Amino acid sequence: MAPLLTLGAALAVLGGAAGAAQAASVQAMSAQAASVQPMSVQATSAQAAASGGYRYWSFWESDGDEWTYATQGPATARPADGDVIGFRFSVSEDSQDSAKPRRAADSFDAVCGRTPAEDGAKRIAVVIDPGTPADAPDGEQPPALRTACARTGTDATAADALASVAKPLRYNSTALLCAISGYPKSGCGDQVSGREDAGTSAASPTAVTSTDDDSGGGPSAGLLVGLAAVLALGAAGVWQARRRRG
């Protein structure tokens, strides 16, 4: 069980910072996969849906019209001048269930319209959505949604753009983004029991798969293959251990 539950952290380490903001969704997938039994797939899926999810900051990119769940972390994504990126704090089971930023994905002009272009720099509209009270940890209230125009060097990443407008940021030891502008005060990709995000669905539009961008559907095929490989290795280890005892 332990190797599966730490898969999100392992991928973040092996992939460097590339898996930063998205590692929590991998962690949720791993936890669900660990509970699956051959004769009760449907039953365990229903139990997973009822058990809750993970509370974390998800990273989003705009395709010009819609938000798409980013396929790489903010430390490796390099938005161009005129792009819009978003960060949303919410409770979700995986990328399909994750709530989108509650601001139009085509809001570059509204956010950066008064920031003139400069040679050797680029402008990135940053949307920071701390979510709803239902998403907040106990004892905390989410700050207001806000936007900012980040002016950065031409080679800057999405993480650089975020850091330029929303300090302090907090990361954990596996490079998972834990807090933006100090919110939340503690915790990082914490598992929650029950559907504490009941109010999230009303605030979020549709699941990522409803967008026109095929890349916005959550974890890549390579990630799913990696998860299958980990499951196979775990099963082989259990078989070998039993064989030695026998």
pLDDT tens readout for residues 128-151: 999 999 999 999 999 999 999 999
Share of the chain above pLDDT 70, in %: 58
pLDDT of residue 96: 76
Q: How far apart are CA 76 and CA 219, in angstroms?
A: 16
Mean pLDDT of 186-206: 59
Give the range of the structural domain holding residue 224, as residue numbers without chain letter. Answer: 2-245
pLDDT of residue 22: 55
Q: How far apart are CA 131 and CA 201, in angstroms?
A: 11
Q: What number of other Cβ atoms are within 10 A of residue 246's Cβ?
A: 5
User: 192, 89 in Cβ contact below 8 A?
Assistant: no
Confidence (pTM): 0.61
pLDDT of residue 193: 79
Share of the chain above pLDDT 90, in %: 52
Backbone angles phi, psi at 54, to 5 degrees: -125, 145
For 88-109, what is each residue's pLDDT tens digit? 999 988 777 789 999 999 999 9
pLDDT of residue 36: 34
Please list, in sequence order, all residues whose beta carbon lies within 8 angstroms of the beta carbon of residue 46, skipping any fewer than 6 positions away: none
pLDDT of residue 194: 62
Could you tell me where the DSSP H helices lie in the chain?
A: 2-5, 7-14, 23-34, 41-51, 108-112, 158-165, 200-203, 221-245
Which residue matches tokens 């834990």? 178
Please list, in sequence order, all residues whose beta carbon lies within 8 angstroms of the beta carbon of residue 142, skipping any fewer than 6 positions away: 89, 130, 131, 132, 133, 135, 136, 183
Backbone angles phi, psi at 169, to 5 degrees: -105, 150
Q: How far apart are CA 177 and CA 31, in angstroms?
A: 20
User: Structural domain tally of the chain?
Assistant: 1
Q: Which two structure tokens, joined as six digits, stand for 205?
A: 């539009």
Q: Which two structure tokens, joined as six digits, stand for 157?
A: 């990443």
CA geometry: angle at 111 spanning 107 and 114, to 5°? Answer: 130
pLDDT of residue 18: 40
pLDDT of residue 94: 74
